[in-house]
Amino acid sequence: MKSFFRLTLVFLVSMHLAYSQKTLTGVVSDSDGIPLPGATVLVQGTMTGVTTDFDGNFSINASEGQQLEFSFVGYQTASITVGSSDVINISLSLGTQLEEVIVTSLGITREKRALGYAVSEVDNSQIESRSTGDVARILSGKASGVQVTDQGGLSGSGTNVIIRGLSTFSSSNQPLFVVDGVPFASDTNAMGGFTSGNNGSSRFLDLDPNNIESVNVLKGLAAATLYGSQGRNGVILITTKSGTTAAGLNAQKNEVTVNTSYFSSELAMKPDYQNQYGGGFDQSFGWFFSNWGPSFDKEGPAGWGRQIALNGELSGQPGYVIHPYVNSISDNALPKDLLPLIGLSMDSLYEWAPRDSVEELFRTGSILNTNVNFRGQSDDGKISYNVNYGNLDDEGFTPNNNLRRNTLSFGGRMSLSNRLTVNGTLNYSNTRFKSPPIASAYGGTAGANSLYDVVFFTPRQLSITELPYENPITKSSIYYYPSNAIQHPLWTLNNSEDRQNTQRTYGGTSIQYDFNDNLNIQYRYGYDVYSEDNVSQSNKGGQTGTTEDRSGVYEKWNNTNTIFNHQISINGDYELDDLWGATFNIGATSNSVEYDRNGVRSTGQNVFGIFRHYNFNSQEEIEYYSKRNILGLFGQASFDYDDYLFITLATRTDWVSNLSEDFRSITYPSASIAIVPTSLFDFGELPIDFLKVRASYGTSATFPTGYPIASTLNLDVQDFRVGGTNIITNSSGSQLGNTGLKPELLAELEFGIEANLFDNRLSAEVSYYDRNTTDLIISRPLDPATGYSSTSTNIGEISTKGWEIDLSADWLRGEKLNWNTTFNYMSSQSIVEDLGDDTDQIIYAGFSNLGNAAIAGLPLTSMIGTSVARDSQGAPIVEGNGTYATNNDTDYKNNPYALIGDSNPDFIANISNTISYGNFSLNFLFNATIGGDMYSAFNSTMLSRGLTTDTAGPNFNRELTFLLPGVLSDSSPNTRMINNSTFTFSTIFYASELETWDASVLRLSELSLTYDIPKEWLERTPFGMASISAQGFNLWYDAYNMPEASNFDPNIAGLGVGNGSGFEYFNGVSARRYGVSLKFTF
């Protein structure tokens, strides 16, 4: 009976409360009466909440006497007690950063005004409905301190991300990605190095930008302390819509949002080719790479009328030349029975006229991107859910390049009656990437298959579509060059490709128990597993690369990466008295990363066109395995005094599994302080609404990967063959293990100031940082007598200093017309302070004679290469043939001119403007990257091979003679005249110094025009909101200090994703994208 009585009482009370609730409606606006879309309305003490629509309207159920809380970012929170009226209209006053709450390390939320370090925020309006599926590229220009470099314009190609410059050259400088609180593998597993293909996607491509709610960038060591060594390069915190704990609360009802877009993609950096001269040298015809041959005009000193190969004396028809394939047969480079098989004869001719092979190869690509999101909550707000599906179909502008991605995400949150809150996410993605090979090339030959180089430097008289690309019998490549030594680009396109197919699951669960309103305990489990299947293949019959490459290659391997992450923490938030408050977080983490690569490489294809390992003569295993565990203990305590003084102390201790016991543990503390003078002093009539000064000190460490403390044994079961039998060999590894190896240590000081001025119309944030890396892990050479060639040791120091500036200005605020400008700026310089007493120079990226070098006293981004020889006075030395002498010594100590540049920009600045009038909104993002050098094979080839308008017409008179500035061997001024091709081809190609340019560039990164459909138009439709946007990306750029006609775009990571920069080898060209997107909610 007692149980029945209690149940009846609860039922009656519940019925009373239900019937006492009523529906409240109203409008939330600012002090000028302008509606605030997306403002939050909560019933205090409950989980019931809604957000306002585009016109600031809301509708919510509440009872008389309850408190409604109204909030909006940048405005002061207000509360109103529900009375008898059913309509509540409220105006919010502009606030300071008091109410702005952001996500920091380990998912801890804090008021921004309390932070003693810099954090950049990017919301989903700056991310969704973009033309690229790569979230890192979308972040470019939107956060100061973040430098993003594309590997090229191929759809699905990798992306290099660096925050606050380089801190090391022996380990990765890529930031940590954290998705919904779980570390997320963002590796770029390239299909070979930059010399052999360089294709491969960065694994953050598996994220759908349309499913991202917000991105926070933790840039300094103090900000990332709680992530330990994983956060040493900065942290990009991504909160997905499925992982947003309040995702359901953001919906007024069960809601469906659809984003769909269509973009066209095209080659952006097509050179301005000259159509005046064809192939040859010294105005004489020849089937060469270069375009220093006769004119396409008959008359004149360089006219084809003076050439017997062109004027009809040899061909029998003026203006025609003997077909190049006929010429190759005469030189025995092609079989005599080939011609009739390809529709030619020994009488076939080829017209001497300009053509455009680049235009023939590239196409206009298409990008179709669709995302559907379902979200909502239960009536009592205790359960919320989010489901997201995304589909990307990206056909690149390069033939045989495409990207396909499907993503599916689930997220949910449940508040249980026993003080338990459960959150969970489950995500799946399938990403398929395909591309022709894009290996490095140098304007003549390539070390492996490469599509771009032979297309871009095709002589102007040739058409790649007019020349058959294969022998119909052998299927081998045929092309115009007399020895058939150049691979036809269409043969490459039809017979070679790289593919990746990645299946990925990631997500996690968190359980939180609230002991009371001030104290809770939370456990979070996360996982991230991807399986990446790779195929790299090429039929036999190619003309590029090694003999083994030309025999046919088939590589197939799998990369499986597994992350398991556990975290438990106790979190407290207390008011100590009327002035002091304190929060704390203490806990432990465990992070396990396992990487397993397995596959087979086969060479020596038997039957053309069949890619199975049994069809190849030789097989070689592809295997690599590593596993590392990091255990960590962390603690953080924050104190605030009277809302103007904020102090945070944090520490973390890590233990790793791949160093010796004496050095596998390290503790890194951090401290920060923030002072808000506007909460302490009255600034009177001064236009200061908010002012904060801050300082922080943070530390971290870089642990080595692999097993550097152990000497290893190499086992090769196919080292060589004797009488058809494989000989098995065992040998010691080349590296001696060092049990005394320690992690690299990082320490950083950061100072900053933040302010809001002029009625919060102007906001500014300025940061300065000074970071030092000591105990650098360096590979040092050993005496061969030891049995080893090198060992890893700790020595040296790198210092990095930089500035970051973020500004925002509301020039106009009105009921219809609004104009906002944001600006961000970054400059950073890393200097090698010390490499030890016996080390002067370490090449850490590129080639040993052309790459990035760490040199004591110089920038870490220094570039070394061959130079022009100079006399004791520094004057260039000219040889007897009139060209420069070359100094091939690339040791800076011996030849200071071997320092050919510094790839680091002087500064990077971005300015964005948003102008809205009524339902229209215009936005553009402009970038200026000033300074920094680039070695460019693309530019040097365009010039030295006479391809562009920079080498013909009014820009360059080929019929003159030229004189290089410099001195002869006897120190007398140079007087040796040379012709056009010697002045370019025989000069530029022979010294890396002359192939290096300033890489400054101005760019219109983004341009969009959006129209929000008026709500009254949608009243009789199922839609609650709808908008349409026209957008363009990379519509214009000007690398104004590079050869004008090359139209070169220096935003290319030619050495691949990693620490190398400032080098380009025909392995990346940029894209221009434009299209429309639709967004609607119902």
Query: 206-210, 269-273, 429-433, 554-558: which has the minimum mean pLDDT?
Result: 206-210
- Residue 330 falls within a domain, yes or no? yes
> For position 187, which CATH number holds?
2.170.130.10
How do beta strands 212-218 and 235-240 pair?
antiparallel
- Residue 762 falls within a domain, yes or no? no
Higher pLDDT, 332 or 323: 323
Q: How far apart are CA 703 and CA 631, in angstroms?
A: 13
Q: Is the pLDDT of residue 485 over 70?
A: yes
Q: Which helix (H) or strand (E) is 360 found in, with range?
A: helix 357-361
The whole-number average pLDDT for the span 447-461 is 85
pLDDT tens digits, one per residue of 840-853: 899 998 888 999 99
Q: How confident is the model at residue 477 (pLDDT cuts 50, 70, 90)?
A: very high
Q: How far apart are CA 239 and CA 236, in angstroms?
A: 10
- One-letter identity of residue 537: Q
- Residue 289 falls within a domain, yes or no? yes
Considering the domain architecture, whether residues 44 and 87 belong to the same structural domain is answered as yes
pLDDT tens digits, one per residue of 1-42: 444 444 444 434 444 444 456 788 888 888 767 778 778 888
The whole-number average pLDDT for the span 620-640 is 92
pLDDT tens digits, one per residue of 285-307: 999 888 999 999 999 989 999 99
Considering the domain architecture, whether residues 116 and 232 belong to the same structural domain is answered as yes
The rounded Cα 343 to chain-centroid distance in angstroms is: 47
Considering the domain architecture, whether residues 222 and 284 belong to the same structural domain is answered as no
Considering the domain architecture, whether residues 236 and 344 belong to the same structural domain is answered as no
Residues 128 and 212: beta-carbon distance below 8 Å: yes
The whole-number average pLDDT for the span 231-244 is 88
Considering the domain architecture, whether residues 222 and 286 belong to the same structural domain is answered as no
Between helices 937-944 and 980-988, what is the axis angle to 10°?
160
Neighbours of 918 (CB within 10 A): 11
- Compute and round to an integer the Cα radius of gyration of the chain: 33
Tokens found for residue 892? 């800076």
Residue partners of 52: CB distance under 8 A and separation at least 6: 27, 28, 35, 36, 37, 38, 39, 41, 58
pLDDT tens digits, one per residue of 152-180: 778 888 888 999 999 999 889 999 999 99
CA distances from 275 to 171, 649, 945, 950, 953 (A): 48, 67, 13, 12, 10
Q: Strand locations in 31-73, DSSP E?
A: 40-43, 49-51, 57-63, 67-71
Q: Is the pLDDT of residue 838 over 90?
A: no
Q: Which of 336, 353, 370 is the last residue of a domain?
A: 353
The whole-number average pLDDT for the span 450-459 is 87
Considering the domain architecture, whether residues 186 and 238 belong to the same structural domain is answered as yes
- Residue 214 falls within a domain, yes or no? yes
Tokens found for residue 54? 């585009």
The whole-number average pLDDT for the span 562-580 is 94
Considering the domain architecture, whether residues 148 and 79 belong to the same structural domain is answered as no
Domain count of the fold of the chain: 3
- One-letter identity of residue 759: D
pLDDT tens digits, one per residue of 396-451: 999 999 999 999 999 998 888 788 999 999 999 999 999 998 877 766 655 667 88
Average pLDDT value over all residues in the chain: 88
Considering the domain architecture, whether residues 106 and 241 belong to the same structural domain is answered as yes
pLDDT at 15: 40
Considering the domain architecture, whether residues 237 and 114 belong to the same structural domain is answered as yes
The rounded Cα 321 to chain-centroid distance in angstroms is: 48
The whole-number average pLDDT for the span 999-1015 is 94
Q: How confident is the model at residue 225 (pLDDT cuts 50, 70, 90)?
A: very high
Q: How far apart are CA 804 and CA 750, in angstroms?
A: 11
Residues 650 and 225: beta-carbon distance below 8 Å: yes
DSSP 657: S
Q: Which of 245, 270, 301 is the last residue of a domain?
A: 245
Q: Count the alpha carbons within 13 Å of 35 in the hemisphere toward its beta carbon.
A: 15
pLDDT tens digits, one per residue of 859-903: 999 999 999 999 999 999 999 899 999 999 999 999 999 999 999
- Residue 284 falls within a domain, yes or no? yes
Tokens found for residue 60? 């919510």
Query: 47-56, 265-274, 406-415: which has the minimum mean pLDDT?
Result: 47-56
Considering the domain architecture, whether residues 58 and 160 belong to the same structural domain is answered as no
Neighbours of 288 (CB within 10 A): 19
Handedness of CA 776, 782, 786, 788 (dihedral sign): positive
Q: Count the alpha carbons within 13 Å of 681 in the hemisphere toward its beta carbon.
A: 10
- Residue 137 falls within a domain, yes or no? yes
Q: Which of 190, 219, 245 is the last residue of a domain?
A: 245
Q: Is the pLDDT of residue 544 over 50?
A: yes
pLDDT at 615: 97
> For position 67, which CATH number holds?
2.60.40.1120
Considering the domain architecture, whether residues 192 and 308 belong to the same structural domain is answered as no
Considering the domain architecture, whether residues 302 and 345 belong to the same structural domain is answered as yes
Residues 907 and 825: beta-carbon distance below 8 Å: yes
Burial class (CB in 10 A: 0-12, 13-18, 19+), 217: buried
Q: How far apart are CA 898 and CA 992, in angstroms?
A: 9
Q: Is the pLDDT of residue 574 over 50?
A: yes
- Residue 237 falls within a domain, yes or no? yes
The whole-number average pLDDT for the span 669-673 is 96
Residue with tokens 């945070």: 648
pLDDT at 696: 97
Strand ranges across the sheet with 119-123: 119-123, 212-218, 235-240, 176-179, 182-184
pLDDT at 51: 75
- Residue 627 falls within a domain, yes or no? no
Residues 896 and 843: beta-carbon distance below 8 Å: no
Q: How far apart are CA 968 and CA 651, in angstroms?
A: 64
CA distances from 714 to 637, 711, 722, 727, 728 (A): 50, 10, 20, 14, 11
Residues 615 and 600: beta-carbon distance below 8 Å: no
Q: How far apart are CA 549 and CA 539, in angstroms?
A: 9
Q: How far apart are CA 670 and CA 652, in angstroms?
A: 9
pLDDT at 347: 93
pLDDT at 21: 65
Domain that includes residue 345, residue range: 280-353
Q: Can you tell me whether residue 983 is helix, strand or coil? A: helix
Query: pTM of the predicted model, to two decimals?
Result: 0.88
